[in-house]
Amino acid sequence: MVCRTIISTKAFETFTICVIVANSAVMVVDDPAAEEPEPIFVVAEHIFNLLYFLEMVLKIVGLGFILGEDAYLRDTWNILDFAIVMSALPQYVQYLESSGSTAVVRPEVGPKQEQSSGSGISGLRAFRVLRPLRTITSIQGLKVLITALFAAMPLLRDTLLILMFFFVVFSIACLQLLAGSLKQRCVSIQTGAVHPDDLLCGSGVTECPGGYFCGKQNANPNYGVTNFDSIQYSLLNVFQCITLEGWSDIQAMMQRTFASVVVILFIVMILSGAFFLLNLLLAVINSKFTEAHNEHQQQEEAARAQKRTPLDDDEMDNALNNKDEWTISQAITARIYAKKMKAFLYRRKAQRAAEARRREALKKQRQASQQARRNIPGQVNHLSNGNGNGNGKTPPHVGGVIMEDDGEHQEEQLNDEEKHLQ
């Protein structure tokens, strides 16, 4: 119980995240290529492993290991944590068995110390930097956003398929039309060297200065990245144009080397890709985020409604008096309506109590009527045997038919009154 209380506190979660951040900072400063790590990093590694192990033990004791709904291994993040913590144990086991590293004498090299085989396993501790992602569950805004992203996956899948089809179509079109165009340069007639300014040219499109002619070389602009010579580079440059990052430079290059009408291709590609398909992706995410946000707001309102309790006279007066920012008219209006609401609730409560008492009286009256109807046959037999007017005949005013009709009529009246109350 104590362990569960400890791990459920905010201070424990904050301390765990601080330890993870400190461990990440130590791993950044440490040099993994060093043959012998510095002693301070070795001590820090042992301290972090001890803290991680204590955290795991506290959670296992407080939550249970695998049995139970909230057990330790029932959480995906705890499974990753358990695997990473246990990956550090083999090197300590090996250290205890060998009492440290063993010196091995090699004639050709000399004394050399064997490195622990657990050094490769210790690299898995880098995955512990993913642990702060568990704070998503404690931040409602991030939780709503992640929920919206997962809910939007089916629609995003269809939209991404359309976007990939768009990329492939325009990449093939650029590959067929513009392949090799960006390799054209102005070359010196005398030396065969490329112009110092690396001028692009095109046959019949852009003229080279005097002493130069338009030739073709093997290199493409931007260290060979900007080109449409293969489907891979074509996809890359189409994606760059769709993101509106440097697309005008690529268009200007193609106008100088291919033709001015290539601007039509780029305009169609930008309008349909950047202004339609990418915005369609954002619209899908926005719609799902709005739905998740509205659902979260409804849940919060329902939770507040459940926690809300009626105020008595003193609490209501205190609540009204504590509103310092209210004006006098607002305070008077609020007090009047609050009193009216209280009076209405009291009247409604009194009406319900009266209706309950009347319903109970009607129920008792019905039971008495049914009991009287059950006693009528015995009275009729008693009168018919001569106990009535002495002649052995049943008086007409106590006949079974007349009495039964009166009972049924009275019961109908009781039923009508009960329906009216309900």
Q: Of 236, 258, 290, which one is at a domain's C-terminal end?
A: 290
Indicate whether 56 belongs to any domain.
yes
**Same domain, yes or no: 237 and 267:** yes
**Same domain, yes or no: 258 and 168:** yes
| pLDDT of amino acid 111 | 44
User: Helix, strand or coil for residue 56?
Assistant: helix
Q: How far apart are CA 182 and CA 205, in angstroms?
A: 13
**Same domain, yes or no: 168 and 111:** no
Burial-class residue 384 by CB neighbours within 10 Å (0-12, 13-18, 19+): middle
In degrees to the nearest 10, what's the CA dihedral of 320, 322, 326, 330? 10
CATH number assigned to the domain comprising residue 107: 1.20.120.350
Q: Is the pTM of this model over 0.75?
A: no
Q: How far apart are CA 21 and CA 16, in angstroms?
A: 9
Strand bridging mode 110-113 / 184-188:
unpaired
**CB of 421 within 8 A of CB of 359?**
yes
| pLDDT of amino acid 166 | 92
Q: How far apart are CA 401 and CA 396, in angstroms?
A: 9
Indicate whether 336 belongs to any domain.
no
**Same domain, yes or no: 10 and 101:** yes
**Same domain, yes or no: 171 and 128:** no
Could you give the number of structural domains in the chain? 3
**CB of 174 within 8 A of CB of 251?**
no
**Same domain, yes or no: 102 and 204:** no
Name the residue range of residue 33's domain. 2-138
CATH number assigned to the domain comprising residue 193: 1.10.287
| pLDDT of amino acid 278 | 87
| pLDDT of amino acid 416 | 65
Positions in the chain whose pLDDT score sits under 50? 100-125, 311, 323-324, 383, 387-404
**Same domain, yes or no: 132 and 215:** no
Indicate whether 382 belongs to any domain.
yes
| pLDDT of amino acid 333 | 77
